[in-house]
Structure 1
């Protein structure tokens, strides 16, 4: 069982290159927004993690471009968590135009729960495991 969160985003003019296509690096921002909101949706806020001395740097990223998105396109960015978070949190992403099946971009990130002071990987807080347990049974 996986937990998938769908995050809406409308392409802004400033996100497009001179060819009228979303500039490739903006997809990383879209991924970040989707995963942040996915975590918030299950009750895990970055702010709370940081207050407890936990940071979550991205340690790996992959992006595959299948088709262009353009200014004013309504997009849906799906963030999919397929396994219980451990020290590492792998997340898969799919970007489509709203109400269309064509996949424009796929991607993957791996984040790492890290002790902010020691700068070393750590286990996720109990609250994170508790939040994901009913979703990833």
Structure 2
């Protein structure tokens, strides 16, 4: 299982607020982009998992803002898997502009079936077959 993945994100004009800052709600969208690309980099696909009835839902998420980002900034998002259990996965996020820390965050995702019942994480997420 891939434990860490990095992507670059350019702040779009529509993601900024009236003061020209990257709007706080977009940090969570960026975190989701990081999770999706981490899974893709290890050969998995949210689209295929959901078609198979496997859903990773956000059970908890948080963000600590350190410095503003602005339109056209190129940011680096590092997504790190910090813990995996039978039915949940935890991530940490580091969003940077060069050496400047823009934000840090954490999330916990729970694995559910179509009816909303907790189920085992699939092999494409954990990297190991269910026992």
Q: Report the TM-score, using the length of structure 2 for normalisation.
A: 0.91
Task: Supply the distance in 2 between the matched residues of 1:126 and 1:55 (Cα, whole angstroms).
Answer: 13
Could you tell me how far 1:84 is from its partner in structure 2? 3.3
Could you tell me how far 1:37 is from its partner in structure 2? 0.5
Could you tell me how far 1:121 is from its partner in structure 2? 1.0
RMSD: 1.4
Counterpart selection for 1:102 from 100, 103, 107: 100
Unpaired runs of at least 5, structure 2 = none
Could you tell me how far 1:66 is from its partner in structure 2? 0.4
Match of residue 134 from structure 1: none
Matches of residues 1-137 of structure 1 in structure 2 within 5 Å?
A: 3-97=3-97, 100-116=98-114, 118-130=115-127
Match of residue 135 from structure 1: none
Q: Contact between 2:11 and 2:70, CA under 8 Å: does it hold in 1?
A: yes
Q: Contact between 2:84 and 2:90, CA under 8 Å: does it hold in 1?
A: no
| Deviation by residue 1:18-42 (Cα, 9 ceiling, x = unmatched) | 1110000000000000110010000
How many positions carry a matched residue from both structures? 127
Compared CA separation, residues 17 and 51, structure 1 to 2 (3 A): same
Q: Which runs of 4+ in 1 moved over 4 A?
A: none
